[in-house]
Amino acid sequence: MDSVDLEHFLVIGAILFGIGLYMSLAKRNFVGVLIGIELMFNGVNLTFISFSRFVESAEPLNGHIFVIFVITVAAAEAAVALALAVLLYRLRDTINVDQIDLLKW
């Protein structure tokens, strides 16, 4: 583990976050956007875990606890989002986010 230290994990986390961010802003498909957001969450999770492992802290476990909660929240998020997506598809026959612009200005 000598050659792999905190920075590497953080960089991976940041890259994951960045990919997710790009996806969520660029994908037209609603599910794609959702996956992008999930990726962002996972980038964050990786960051938390690695901090938890490497940083001098009075609360070393907090990072792990955080990650578990974030995973749970992300699952709930997906549930709500997919429910809305199904409804969207039924109402409008599309799940392309760039076509939902009824509300504007």
Residues that bind other proteins (CB under 8 A): 10, 17, 20-21, 24-26, 30, 33-34, 37, 40-41, 43-44, 47-48, 51, 55-59, 61-63, 65-66, 69-70, 73, 76-77, 80-81, 84-85, 87-88, 91-92, 97-98, 100-105
Amino acid identity at 41: F
CB of 23 to other proteins, least distance (A): 11
Buried b (16+ CB within 10 A) or exposed e, 37-75: bbbbbbbbbbbbbbbbeeeeeeeeeebeebbeebeeebe
Choose between 1 and 80: whose C-beta lies nearer to other proteins.
80
